[in-house]
A and B are shown apart, each in its own frame.
Chain A
């Protein structure tokens, strides 16, 4: 199996860019989509953002200098795209957590999703009320099990900053559970 680095070199050197790009896409596609989906909750929005991310990867891969891992780089693009989307969404409409909660309950009540429970609803609402950056850091740390060095590179902060973001997120979740 070719490494990411070898595929990037192939992409940058050859005129037939589609073959190495497709392998990279299929290799990292799921993780990128899941991280975006955790942030925006809505499947259609997550799909749109993920597609935007991959188009940016195509456009910028020629200039990628391999100073970081490809997965770090692509998560950084995903981070920027997701934050931009959420900020635009906040500007255009008042983000109503309660509406999302109802959607979540309905989705959870359907046969395709796990059974709804009070603790799940609390968890979902608690996560949604976290500031975007803290939420992103929390998701990367807990679900992707990334180290703080990588999280720091993705979110454009220091290792200390990434740790602080995670622990602030935990504090806010604790407070939310206390008052729930």
Chain B
């Protein structure tokens, strides 16, 4: 059996304390902003996608380039292949998160709307799950529609994951490719050293020479 050294154990303990400290700090924020926190409860996967991809579009490319630089430095790489690749990836991360958000938000919203509509019309066992208190549409209009709304969000979110397995190939992939193409051209046009285009030209020239 492998036993960790005392130093390692204390480091692990410190790490877990740091994470608990972080949760504690966010917990304080929760206590101080009850109105904002309560309104978050109504969030669906659409809001999650916007928050997630919005941060991915801004932070993701920076992380990509930082990882590329860190690998280049750590491995003392001289030809800069990793650095260049990370620039390509940074543009790609941005394109993916932008394209993914647009299609993702539309598809998720449609699925949630459709499932909410169906949940309102459910009968039998499905109605018992959606409406466990057996609320009457005409008598408890508010409670009934709150139930249906929540179920629409959860079932719709789950259905959207299934739907997106297909739309990913049919819509996302070509759409993201187009964004990536234009983003790459834009970056090359506005950067002092258009690394991507330059490399393509160099390769083309080399290949031309080889042909000749």
Query: Do A and B come together as binding partners?
Result: no
Residues of B within 8 A of A (CB): none
Residues of A within 8 A of B (CB): none
